[in-house]
Structure 1
Amino acid sequence: MKFYLAGRLSIAAAMAFALASCTTTQAGFRKNPERVSKSALCRTFITNTDLAFTQELTAELARRRIDPIECVNMVQRENQAAAVIVAVALVGTAVAVCANNNCGGGSSYPAYTPYRGNCQYDWQRDAAGNRCGNRSAYSRPGGY
C-alpha cells in the first residue's frame, strides 16, 4: 500500500515538475529556434521578463504564424489538464487509502432494529388506546 501511495504521489510531482520545466533557455532557443516545441515556445514567451528575448520569441511566433493569445489559451489548457490529472491521482490515492484502512464511515454499533410492539416509550399508546406509561420498554429495567 505504501508503495502504491508513493507511486501516485511521485507521478503527480513529476507532472508538476515537467510542466514547470516546459520552457526553453535563451541559449537553447538561439542555437536552434526551429527545434523548440510550440508549447515550450509559448510558455517561455509568457513567463519571460527579458525584453530583448521577448522580441526574439515574438519574431519566432510570427514566423510560425502563432498568435500570442493562442499561446496564453494553450498554456491555460495544459495547466488545467495537468491540474485535473493531479487531482484525479490524489483522489484515487485517498480512495485507496480509505479502502485499505476501513474509513468508509461504517458503524461499530449493531444495525438498528425497529421496536416490535406498541409501547417503546412511555408517551406512546398501546393497542387499546391507553398511555403506555411505566409499561413501556423505555421505562423497564434493561429496556426491550
Structure 2
Amino acid sequence: MIGARIKEERERLKLTLSEFAVIAGAGKRTLSDWEKGTTYPTALQLSALNTVGVDVTYIVTGQRSQAAITPEEQVMLDAYRKLPEENKKRLMVLALTGVDISSSDEKKKGKANTKVSIKGDNNTGNIATGNIKLRK
C-alpha cells in the first residue's frame, strides 16, 4: 500500500525515479524497493520529499492532506496572497467561472454578477459584490 502511494505521488509530481531518489537522499534501487513495498523510507527521507510537494500524510495514512500542493501551486498561492482584495475577487471569479470581470463588456452583460456554487464544498457567494463564503 505505502509503495503504491509513493509511486502515485512521484507520478503526480511528474518526477522520474532518479529525481525522486535524489530529493529523498536515496538511491534509485532503494526507491524502486519502496515502490515495490519491500522497504520503506525513513522519517528524514519523507521530510525531504515533503519539501517538493509530496503528500507525506497520504503516503503514510492513505488520506489526502489539504496542505499538499505542488511547487507551482505554492508560487500561485504566494502571489495571490500579495494581491489587493479587489484583484483577489477578480481572480476568484475567473478561476471559478471562467469569466474575466475586469472587462467592462462582461459587466454590461451581467456576467460579473455570477452566483457560484462549488459542488461538494458548500462554498457559495456573489463574488462580484464581495459576498463570498468559502468554507473549509
TM-score bracket, shorter-length normalisation: under 0.3
Q: Point out the structure with max Rg over C-alpha.
A: 1
Greater relative contact order: 1 or 2 (C-alpha under 8 angstroms, separation 6 or more)? Answer: 1
From the two aligned structures, give the one with the greater strand fraction: 2
Give the TM-score taking structure 2 as reference length: 0.28
